[in-house]
Amino acid sequence: MSDELRIPLPFVTGAIVAIVAIGGWCWWRVGSAQSQADAAREQAQTIARDVQRVQTLRQQAQVVAGSRRPDADLVTRVQRALSQAGLPVTACSGVQPRNDQAAPGGGIRIQSVQLSLRALQPSDLGAWLSAWTMAEPAWTVSELQLAHQPTTALGLDSNRFDVSVVLSAPYVEDAP
């Protein structure tokens, strides 16, 4: 008798088959895990985009007055925004109220006024809009029209505009 250990061939074959099967199963699980990880990363990116979009929309949402119709006397507020923007208050040539409109879905009405600003450069308009949106979040710009400022000798000044701005403020219709 020899001291050699003899392993039967069927046992060796079975062990090799088992090792290959376990290796294949592990390989399949790694591939499955990679697919799940890729799907999770894609879903996380989608959620991040959705969250960013919601935050952007929240920042753009109009402020609805919690009670009655907002005070429409805007001349002083417009002039204050002009002063904050470093512009003369005489640039405001008038504020005209418009009829209130019902918002779709009911319960909310929208008050609007038309404002006329004269002889503004684009940078002046931007400065006023910035000052206005900071001071008056309830009143948002719903229309903006620019017309070249006429001059006496040269025709039109290509860098000065008369501006018509429609400001709107939503409010709750049935407020006490």
pLDDT tens-place string over residues 58-100: 655 555 555 556 665 678 888 888 899 999 888 888 888 888 8
Q: E strands, the chain, where?
A: 92-97, 101-102, 108-120, 140-151, 155-172
Q: pTM higher than 0.85 for the full model? A: no
pLDDT digits (tens, 9 = 90+) for 12-55: 888 888 898 898 888 888 888 888 888 888 988 988 888 887 77
CB 81 within 8 A of CB 133: no
DSSP 8-state assignment for residue 117: E
pLDDT digits (tens, 9 = 90+) for 129-143: 999 888 887 888 989
Q: State the sign of the Cα–Cα–Cα–Cα dihedral 89, 92, 96, 97.
A: negative
| Predicted local confidence at residue 78, as pLDDT | 87
CB 132 within 8 A of CB 125: no
